[in-house]
Amino acid sequence: MSEGIGTKFDKVCAILDKYEHNPHKLIAILQDLQEEYSYLPEDIMTFVSTALGVSPSKVYGVATFYSHFTLQPKGKHVIKLCDGTACHVKKSHDILNALEKHLGLTAKENTTPDMLFTLELVACLGACGLAPVVVIDDKVYGPMTPESTLALVDKIREEEGVCGDN
Amino acid sequence: MITKTLEERKQAYLENLSKYKARIMICAGTGCVANGSLEVYEEFVNKIEEHGLSVSVAVGLEKEADYVMAKSGCQGFCQMGPLVTIYPQGILYIKVKPEDVDEIIEKTILNGETVDRLLYVSPETNKPIGKADDIPFYSRQRRLGIKLCGHIDALDMEEYIANGGYAMAEKAFTQMTGEEICKLMIESGLRGRGGGGFTTGRKWELTRIQEDPVKYIICNGDEGDPGAFMDRCLLEACPHSVIEGMLIAAKAVGAQEGYIYVRTEYPLAVQRLKIAVEDARKSGFLGKDVFGSGSDFDIHIMEGAGAFVCGEETALIASIEGNRGMPSPKPPFPAQSGLFGKPTVINNVETFANVPVVMQMGAEAYASIGTATSNGTKTFALTGHVMNTGLIEVPFGTTLRQIIGDIGGGVLNDDGTNCGLDYKAVQIGGPSGGCLTKEHLDLPLDYETLKSVGAMVGSGGLVVINQQTCMVEVARFFMQFTQSESCGKCVVCREGTKQMLNLLTDIVEGRGTAETLELLEQLAETVKVGSLCGLGKTAPNPVLSTLKYFREEYNAHVFEGRCPANQCEAFKKYIVIEEKCKSCGLCARKCPVNAIEGAKGVPYTIDKEKCIKCGACVESCKFNAIMIG
């Protein structure tokens, strides 16, 4: 996308206006920005700190404190695997291992090179009655097995026109 | 702005409701939606119209219709979803699929018969049960705070009003003084349901007597405990009850603004709250001149951003102020200096939902429920290895025997068989809580008794753990959670939890010694004493409580080189079952470390010293001849 410097921060400005440049609304502002960009780019965070009159370290501090924020671009489809107590005792780790193996991901490298999937291990999603639970793009699935989870992933791959073995 | 009184709206709603021949209520809580309840909803609408009948999507719409649909919030019986209830009979169908809809319409809705195959079958008598109220899961509960959850259309404010909703808020604003409300709350003995168990009325009274004219009410919906979901259920199923509770609190202390802080992991709860707040504003229950009383009160909704520590009240306040969610020392208490330095009442979602109930029942009647020190009821999220998982509400003083046996329907083994009450442990109170064992089967659960055995009510997560689960691994799991959620402010919490996790990992991975255990215990005490907030203070609890009740499991890992539950990878042994081995040699070729030897006609063997437990041999064997023991 070719955006000039003049228009690059238009969306950010609109979000800042929505919250009346109120530094107390920093978390809500960052949430809206992440919704817009799918992650928090560094230059945007610097811009926000100047606009709100707070130090960049404060913005960075908040952005890195909360697990919902990410400084790395995420894949098109976000797979959240619940590792709450109920899911854990019902073997959510078997699903994690299967997914990591299937997608070639690790805890550090959690987005596929083709930017199709990001795998996140999250704390309780509150759907413990269905444990173990997997959430793909905000749709909740459960109770899951490694096999049924991989089937879901493959279905998405198929829909995206990517063949199973990359 | 208010044109009709609450009583007039109630009557109008009931009259409208009586015009329909039947009402079809579909559970649209997170659990049932995941199981496809919205597809079932659509199918009902389509099929009824295919029958040439008319259907309305809400009560009281201008359009005349024969039938009316409703989406309720979580009904608690998540495992049996999607749940469909047909009124006026109140017949509950479980695990309903779109293809079942036709039959339900034909039989139940048009002809008043039941579809037996979709009814819940009692495992005790093997007979189908038609009505939800007769199912042991429900009939053995006592629902007060979540009474309306799943029984009303979550988004229909008129239905909440028809069930007595907002009457108590109106009474508080128009007929009572703040002092009277605080007194009533103190007398009822309602205690904070978020875990601390502080008397709600005292908290309010302390805020009320502050002279600052600006005060805040905060509803803590940052339900981060893994394995707990009662707040989610309440916010999804009956958001108005939480708003009403906050309104009463606002009147009690004289606050003008309120915040509801909800986890971002609960998108449906956030969405429904937003609609509910907007509806309440439209009716003049929120905003300027609430109930025509001359006082103002409005509510903002703030989404959390994923930090467990924000469940701690001072950390949550920091988060609303736009800072990192780090706790600060108390005193000053939030009641004295809270949000933006102003006196603030901060209560949990469930506590607020119970406030209108307390007012309705009266202090004395409410105080008569429960035990001597813990009044009323408590909602628990019953999960883990139990037959009926879901949300339950029981009076304080109920025992595990009643909860797991009568309501939960027994404990499940890994292979799916039911072993009655033969659980290994019940983890209560999440990562801050502790374990209960079979010796606590008849312990009346309340704030004090749980504390006396090293556990806590917490927010109310009850995770049942079966005999096939390793307790050291469970302790490690919780430590991993608290370690990653430690905010980093206190050194002993930040570094201590990390070292405790390392020690537990050592034990689980077979590197533990007597010294590891000793260090672990010492460190647990240090972290407990040296941390500022509840997260650090309670982080060692799961370790201490498993050490207390399952010491032999720790000892087996450390001194005997085995995991009694056979769960920890490091202690697993790969053995070839001689009778099954066909000596094909495939496993030997697959083994990356050449640990398998054998020859044609002779069963292969695995050298335990060389084996790295990668599992490649098990995967390769076509005859299932390699066993993990």
- In this prediction, residues B345-372 reach a mean pLDDT of 96
Average pLDDT in chain A: 89
- Sequence-distant (≥ 6) Cβ neighbours of residue B431 within 8 angstroms: B225, B226, B308, B478, B481, B482, B485, B538, B539, B541, B542
Secondary structure E strands in chain A: 77-82, 117-122, 134-136, 139-141
Provide the shortest C-alpha distance from residue A29 to chain B (in Å).
10
Contact check, Cβ <8 Å, A130/B78: yes
Chain A residues within 8 A of B321 when measuring between CB atoms:
24
B334 half-sphere exposure, CB direction, 13 A CA radius = 24
pLDDT of residue A3: 52
Size of interface A-B (CB pairs under 8 A): 136
pLDDT of residue A2: 47
Decide if pLDDT at B596 tops 80.
yes
Contact check, Cβ <8 Å, B264/A31: yes
Decide if pLDDT at B60 tops 60.
yes
Contact check, Cβ <8 Å, B303/A28: yes
Chain B residues within 8 A of A122 when measuring between CB atoms:
265
- In this prediction, residues B5-27 reach a mean pLDDT of 93
Share of chain A above pLDDT 90, in %: 64
Chosen from B95, B137, B229 to mutate, greatest number of chain A CBs within 10 A? B229
pLDDT of residue B614: 83
- Sequence-distant (≥ 6) Cβ neighbours of residue A104 within 8 angstroms: A112, A166
- In this prediction, residues B618-622 reach a mean pLDDT of 88
Share of chain B above pLDDT 90, in %: 74
Q: B525, B540 in Cβ contact below 8 A?
A: yes
A123, A124, A140: residue with CB nearest B34: A140
Q: B428, B434 in Cβ contact below 8 A?
A: yes
pLDDT in tens, B281-336: 999 999 999 999 999 999 999 999 989 999 999 999 999 999 999 999 989 999 99
Tokens of B509: 């991975």
Q: Which residue has 């010796």 as its token pair? A: B439
> Which residue ranges form the domains of chain A, and what is each CATH number?
8-65 (1.10.10.1590), 77-159 (3.40.30.10)
Closest-CA residue of chain B to A65:
B324
Decide if pLDDT at B528 tops 80.
yes
Provide the shortest C-alpha distance from residue A124 to chain B (in Å).
4
B35, B224, B325: residue with CB nearest A123: B224
pLDDT of residue A164: 47
Give B1's pLDDT tier (boundaries 50, 70, 90): very low
Chosen from A18, A22, A27 to mutate, greatest number of chain B CBs within 10 A? A27
Closest-CA residue of chain B to A22:
B322
Decide if pLDDT at B535 tops 50.
yes
**Cα A71 to Cα A49: distance, rounded to the nearest angstrom:** 16
Provide the shortest C-alpha distance from residue A2 to chain B (in Å).
31
Grouping H, G, I as helix, E, B as strand and the rest as coil, residue B56 is: strand
**Cα A123 to Cα B224: distance, rounded to the nearest angstrom:** 8
Q: B392, B380 in Cβ contact below 8 A?
A: yes
pLDDT of residue A162: 74
**Cα B239 to Cα B241: distance, rounded to the nearest angstrom:** 5
Q: A116, A79 in Cβ contact below 8 A?
A: no
Which contiguous run of DSSP H or E holds residue B66?
none
Which contiguous run of DSSP H or E holds residue B140?
none
Chain B residues within 8 A of A84 when measuring between CB atoms:
226-227
Give B22's pLDDT tier (boundaries 50, 70, 90): very high
A26, A58, A128: residue with CB nearest B227: A128
- In this prediction, residues B535-546 reach a mean pLDDT of 94
Share of chain B above pLDDT 70, in %: 100
Q: Angle at which helices B267-282 and B230-237 pack, to 10 degrees?
A: 40
pLDDT of residue B329: 92
Closest-CA residue of chain A to B310:
A66
Provide the shortest C-alpha distance from residue B487 to chain A (in Å).
8
Contact check, Cβ <8 Å, A89/B302: no
Give A41's pLDDT tier (boundaries 50, 70, 90): very high
- Give the ipTM of the model, two decimals please: 0.87
Decide if pLDDT at A1 tops 50.
no
pLDDT of residue B224: 83
Decide if pLDDT at B141 tops 60.
yes
B305, B322, B478: residue with CB nearest A24: B322
Looking at per-residue pLDDT, the higher value among B516 and B598 belongs to: B516
Q: A30, A44 in Cβ contact below 8 A?
A: no
Contact check, Cβ <8 Å, A89/B384: yes
Q: B381, B227 in Cβ contact below 8 A?
A: yes
Chain A residues within 8 A of B31 when measuring between CB atoms:
127, 129-130, 140, 142
pLDDT of residue A165: 47
**Cα B228 to Cα A40: distance, rounded to the nearest angstrom:** 30
- In this prediction, residues A64-91 reach a mean pLDDT of 90
| Phi, psi (degrees; rounded to nearest 5) at B284 | 80, 15
Chain A residues within 8 A of B305 when measuring between CB atoms:
27, 30-31, 66-69
Decide if pLDDT at B38 tops 90.
yes
- In this prediction, residues B69-97 reach a mean pLDDT of 91
Contact check, Cβ <8 Å, A67/B305: yes
Decide if pLDDT at A34 tops 60.
yes
Contact check, Cβ <8 Å, B322/A27: yes
Give B612's pLDDT tier (boundaries 50, 70, 90): confident
**Cα B589 to Cα B572: distance, rounded to the nearest angstrom:** 21
Q: Is B603 exposed, middle or buried (0-12, 13-18, 19+ CB in 10 A)?
A: middle
Which contiguous run of DSSP H or E holds residue B377?
strand B377-384
Contact check, Cβ <8 Å, A89/B322: no
The amino acid at residue B121 is V
**Measuring CA to CA, how many Å separate B171 from each of A144, B201, B215, B216?**
48, 18, 21, 21
Closest-CA residue of chain B to A61:
B324
Cis amide leading into B331 (omega within 30): yes
Among the ranges given (A115-124, B239-248, B328-337), the one the predictor scored with the smallest mean pLDDT: A115-124
Chain B residues within 8 A of A27 when measuring between CB atoms:
302, 305, 319, 322
Chain A residues within 8 A of B481 when measuring between CB atoms:
123
What percent helix, strand, coil does chain B show, rounded to 5? Answer: 45, 15, 40
A26, A125, A128: residue with CB nearest B381: A128
Count of Cβ atoms closer than 10 Å to residue B25 Cβ: 23
- In this prediction, residues B557-565 reach a mean pLDDT of 94
Contact check, Cβ <8 Å, A66/B305: yes
Q: B507, B562 in Cβ contact below 8 A?
A: no
Among the ranges given (A49-53, A75-79, A148-152, B617-621), the one the predictor scored with the smallest mean pLDDT: B617-621
- In this prediction, residues B355-371 reach a mean pLDDT of 96
Beta strand pairing status for B22-27 and B67-72? Answer: parallel
Closest-CA residue of chain B to A134:
B34
The amino acid at residue B585 is G
Q: What is the number of residues in chain A?
A: 166
Chosen from A88, A101, A148 to mutate, greatest number of chain B CBs within 10 A? A88
pLDDT of residue B481: 92
**Cα A129 to Cα B388: distance, rounded to the nearest angstrom:** 8
> Which residue ranges form the domains of chain B, and what is each CATH number?
9-139 (3.40.30.10), 157-177+209-355 (3.40.50.11540), 377-465 (3.10.20.600), 471-559 (1.20.1440.230), 572-628 (3.30.70.20)
B31, B308, B324: residue with CB nearest A129: B31
- Sequence-distant (≥ 6) Cβ neighbours of residue B204 within 8 angstroms: B181, B182, B185, B249, B252, B253, B345
Contact check, Cβ <8 Å, B305/A69: yes
Beta strand pairing status for B22-27 and B84-87? Answer: antiparallel
Provide the shortest C-alpha distance from residue B30 to chain A (in Å).
7
- Sequence-distant (≥ 6) Cβ neighbours of residue A98 within 8 angstroms: A146, A147, A149, A150
Beta strand pairing status for B298-303 and B257-262? Answer: parallel
Which of B356, B402, B363, B362 has its CA nearest to residue B380?
A: B402
Closest-CA residue of chain A to B488:
A65
Eight-class DSSP state of A1: -
Decide if pLDDT at B256 tops 90.
yes
B78, B227, B305: residue with CB nearest A68: B305
Chain A residues within 8 A of B468 when measuring between CB atoms:
none
The amino acid at residue A43 is D
**Cα A103 to Cα A150: distance, rounded to the nearest angstrom:** 9
Which of B456, B486, B475, B260 has its CA nearest to residue B353?
A: B260
Chain B residues within 8 A of A34 when measuring between CB atoms:
none
Decide if pLDDT at A108 tops 90.
no
Closest-CA residue of chain B to A31:
B305
Q: Is B521 exposed, middle or buried (0-12, 13-18, 19+ CB in 10 A)?
A: middle
Decide if pLDDT at A135 tops 80.
yes
Chain A residues within 8 A of B487 when measuring between CB atoms:
65
Chain B residues within 8 A of A89 when measuring between CB atoms:
384-385, 463, 465, 469, 474
Among the ranges given (A109-113, B397-401, B597-601), the one the predictor scored with the smallest mean pLDDT: B597-601
Tokens of B466: 């079966």
Count of Cβ atoms closer than 10 Å to residue A27 Cβ: 26
- In this prediction, residues B36-46 reach a mean pLDDT of 94
Average pLDDT in chain B: 93
Cis amide leading into A143 (omega within 30): yes
Contact check, Cβ <8 Å, B226/A84: yes
- In this prediction, residues A63-84 reach a mean pLDDT of 92
Residue B108 φ/ψ region, left for φ over 0, alpha for ψ in the -120 to 50 degree band, beta for the rest: alpha
Contact check, Cβ <8 Å, B306/A27: no
Which of B483, B464, B469 has its CA nearest to residue B553?
A: B469
**Cα B106 to Cα B118: distance, rounded to the nearest angstrom:** 14
Tokens of B591: 């083994």
The amino acid at residue B612 is I
